[in-house]
A and B are shown apart, each in its own frame.
Chain A
Amino acid sequence: MLSIGLSSAVLGIEAYPVEVEVDISSGLPHFSTVGLPDTAIKESKNRVLAAIKNSGYEFSMKRITVNLAPAAVKKEGAAFDLSIALGILAANGQLSQDRLQKYIVLGELSLDGSVRKVKGTLPIALAAREAGVDGLIIPEGNRKEASVVKGLNVFPVRNLKETVDFLNGRDELSSFSIDLEEEFEDRRNYETDFADVKGQEYAKRALEVAASGGHNILLIGPPGSGKTMLAKRLPSILPTITLDEALETTKIHSVIGLISSRSAIVGTRPFRSPHHTISDVALIGGGSFPRPGEVSLAHNGVLFLDEFPEFHRNVLEVLRQPIEDGVVTIVRVSTALTYPAKFMLAAAMNPCPCGFYGDSQRECTCTPFQIQKYRAKISGPLLDRIDMHIEVPPVKYQELTVDTDGESSLTIRTRVQRARDIQKERFKKFKSVYCNAHMEAKYIRKYCILEKEAEKLLKDAIERLGLSARAYDRILKVSRTIADLEAKEEISSHHIAEAIQYRSLDRNLWM
């Protein structure tokens, strides 16, 4: 007998329908699957058969053929287990065919028949709504994630038996729903706050400027100076994430199963901090079963690259495209996938290999040559896309023990938001530009109008301080943001002066 059930799989960050066809015929006992890679077949077969048996269903092994259509697209993972098990039972006459075809079913099986969490629930739920089925049957652990989609009946299940009983009409399952707005509201608090950071006024100001204009930033300082601590708090001063942005980010996180069973939605801007040994594929996305990389997981948030010079050169190279375009495009023989990747880059590095160059407490043991080599690792096109470089000194013990709090993230975020609003208005005609950091040369000329004195200062600075011509545009963009923070139309010399300070690496202070 043949049975047909519905399931779904993810390609990129979108889901597509999968038909689960199961045929049982007499013959030598055999189990074959079309549309899954070899290793997955074996594992799936074992789980499905054990789960059926351990759930108390009669089943004698026959010739079973499973087809996951479209078979040409190779699918990953165990999310079809439940569908296959149901298909076998239906083909065997133990389950109503009619009802099976009205639900999209998803779930990995344990040997005892219980249903485990799967990846990609949110895109699948979105696709399920479009497909107009009666409902989505998903593992209980994914119920919140699925119920983000309004107008879709979500039926969480705990085990195979429960699912069978439901589809046979023996037991009713109640559909699960949440109040999305409320859920979103509940998840908007950051665990960390700028108030925790003692001292570091200069670094905090720089991060405020960076957040205000969406400028990528590099933090340079000895070990333990608080670079990681500062960067971690960057998302908390970016403009509050909107529901639409949150849904985009959640979708990407859902694809690789990052959404915990307790949460429905990512309510805060993400902070991703991959280790420097990461491969280019893991950073950017792709692979034989394409999955989003760290840059996409950081979508609408912050990508933090600690130990910046330690990243492989080719890894850093691939960052250029997403920084430029805000998306990652992965080209396959048959298709091209895109993953959104609009993030702010924060990078951190020590001033030298040993870490203590310029530290008044510890002595640097590096030779000038070593320092030069270390610095050279981060030069080039990627550094060109980082508007601000700041130095972060170690904070003295005395300052760490004072208990006056710094400004809270909320206070800073309010100012950042105001500066962003000005930019939104400024760029409302342009589709791809929404903050100062993204201005191209022609917009820079148009929107960065300098007062006379400011112009002179910038010119002098380029000459006297040995700033590169490259630095010129970056200083203009950052000074635009500084002026926006003051709600000033024209850029004055003190805006320029401050912006020049944020070009530490352009200065010859290091050798």
Chain B
Amino acid sequence: MADKIEHWLTLNMIPGIGATRGQKLLEHFGSPQSILEANLNELQHVAGIGEYTARQIVSSRDKLDIEKEISRIKKQKVSVVTFSDDNYPANLKSIFDPPIVLYVKGKLLPEDRIAIAMVGTRRPTTYGKMVAEKLSKELAEREISIVSGLARGIDTSAHKGALSCGGRTIAVLGCGIDICYPPENRALFDEIGERGVVVSEFPMGTRPEKMNFPMRNRIISGLSLGVVIVEAGFRSGALITAGCALEQGREVFAVPGNIFNLGTKGSHSLIKQGAKLVEECEDIIEEIRCLRDVLPVSPAIKSLRKVKLSSEEERVYNLLSFEPIHIDLISKQSGLVINRTSSVLMNLEMKGKIRQVVGKMFLRVPEAQ
């Protein structure tokens, strides 16, 4: 008996069942329907499924409002691709913990197998944005799909770069596919839904919780043959994606940046550890055919020395990077009125945290190591 979409969705929605346990159950029972019909005893004897999870499955499987989920899916013009479907992405299938289902806006194509992920900081420098847009465009022009996470900053630039030349791009979300996060990327979201594809493993209405993003990251790398890190600080999400890529046997690329910029510490540590340094898209393309080296990631994290800052100073400081930006922009982004911004900047300058350059522009002073 063919499994219905409902069964897949139900399985995916049961609390406590993620991709790993879901795969174990599927291996054991063969289909979602059998899982949903199994009794407690059968369930808890599956390797890796304890009594607790088994109870959760039994207690919640009938309570889930699957009708509602289906109607939301229809209403949002979303399609669902299950692990058993033919059009389930081939790259993703090969990872250790592939999603059980993918909610999809747009269309997944077989050509998407030739994909490169590009990720980086949400607070990029102008340089970082330029690099992301340029590389992404050049790769997309060569019919390589660009995978990223629709986040602010580098992700946005990566998607835009691909779209700018009519190329393909895939956005992987850390929330339900009916939610656009960050909200300012609405137009981008819609455009990708039309000209590329947006995917998520999360049920409709799932909020963009912090814990979702590492899971999302494994899909980004999982969909791709390699991951390009454009600007990443220590402990950044982009480094987690790089870590996933390595576990999944994908190639890792990193673009070098300004050594004074803490926002490139992560990318540089990857390079030190063997990630391929990228200056131009050829550097990526020549690797795609032969994926070989796997490198361990163990970024040494140095804690930054702290100077006491007021909350307004903190707010302004966090906006600054190693690329000078103008006082008007700082005021706009911080939400502080211009005279307040002006005095806060002077105080930060006096505390030695930032520097002013010609043109009423401000940037961070590199922290002493």
Residues of A at the B interface (CB closer than 8 Å) are 199-202, 204-205, 351, 357-360, 390-391, 393, 457, 460-461, 464-465, 482, 493-495, 497-498, 500-501, 504, 507, 509-510
Contacts and interface: CB of A to CB of B under 8 A. Distances in A.
29 contacts: A202-B327, A202-B331, A202-B338, A202-B360, A204-B338, A205-B338, A351-B359, A358-B358, A358-B359, A393-B326, A393-B328, A393-B360, A460-B350, A461-B346, A461-B350, A493-B343, A494-B340, A494-B343, A497-B342, A497-B344, A497-B346, A498-B342, A498-B343, A498-B346, A500-B346, A501-B345, A501-B346, A507-B356, A509-B357
B331 A504 contact: no
A19 to B, nearest CB: 62
B212 interface: no
Contacts of B340: 494
A308 B345 CA distance: 29
Contacts of A457: 347, 350
A467 to B, nearest CB: 12
Interface residues of B, number: 22
B339 interface: yes
B342 A351 contact: no
A66 to B, nearest CB: 64
Given A201-B328, A202-B328, A391 B359 contact: yes
Given A358-B359, A391-B359, A504-B360, A497 B343 contact: yes
B340 to A, nearest CB: 7
B331 A201 contact: yes
Contacts of A501: 342-343, 345-346, 360
Most chain B beta-carbon neighbours within 10 Å: one of A351, A393, A465, A493? A393
B356 A509 contact: yes
Contacts of B332: 201
Nearest to A511: B358
Contacts of B328: 199-202, 393
Given A457-B350, A464-B350, A205 B342 contact: yes
Top 10 closest A-B pairs, CB basis?
A358-B358, A497-B343, A497-B346, A494-B343, A358-B359, A201-B338, A391-B360, A498-B343, A205-B338, A498-B342
A500 B349 CA distance: 11
A495 B343 CA distance: 7
Contact of A351 (B327, B358, B361): B358
Contacts of B338: 201-202, 204-205
A460 B326 CA distance: 24
Given A351-B359, A393-B328, A393-B360, 4 more contacts: A202-B342, A482-B339, A493-B343, A498-B339
Given A200-B328, A201-B331, A205-B338, A391 B346 contact: no
Contact of B358 (A201, A204, A357, A493): A357
A177 B184 CA distance: 63
Interface in B187-234: none
A16 to B, nearest CB: 51
B101 to A, nearest CB: 41
Contacts of A390: 360
Contacts of B360: 202, 390-391, 393, 501, 504
B361 to A, nearest CB: 8
Contacts of B359: 351, 358-360, 391, 393
Interface string B280-297: 000000000000000000
A393 B360 CA distance: 8
A510 B358 contact: yes
A358 B358 CA distance: 6
A505 to B, nearest CB: 11
A461 B326 CA distance: 21
Contacts of B331: 201-202
Interface in B266-303: none
Contacts of A201: 327-328, 331-332, 338
A113 B46 CA distance: 118
Nearest to B359: A358
B172 to A, nearest CB: 29
Interface in B146-164: none
A391 B332 CA distance: 18
Contacts of A460: 350
B196 to A, nearest CB: 25
B174 to A, nearest CB: 29
Contacts of A199: 328
Most chain B beta-carbon neighbours within 10 Å: one of A202, A460, A461? A202
Contacts of B342: 202, 205, 497-498, 501
Nearest to A494: B343
A54 to B, nearest CB: 65
Most chain A beta-carbon neighbours within 10 Å: one of B345, B346, B359? B359
A205 B339 contact: yes
Contacts of A464: 350
B316 to A, nearest CB: 12
Contacts of A507: 356
B17 to A, nearest CB: 47
Nearest to B352: A464
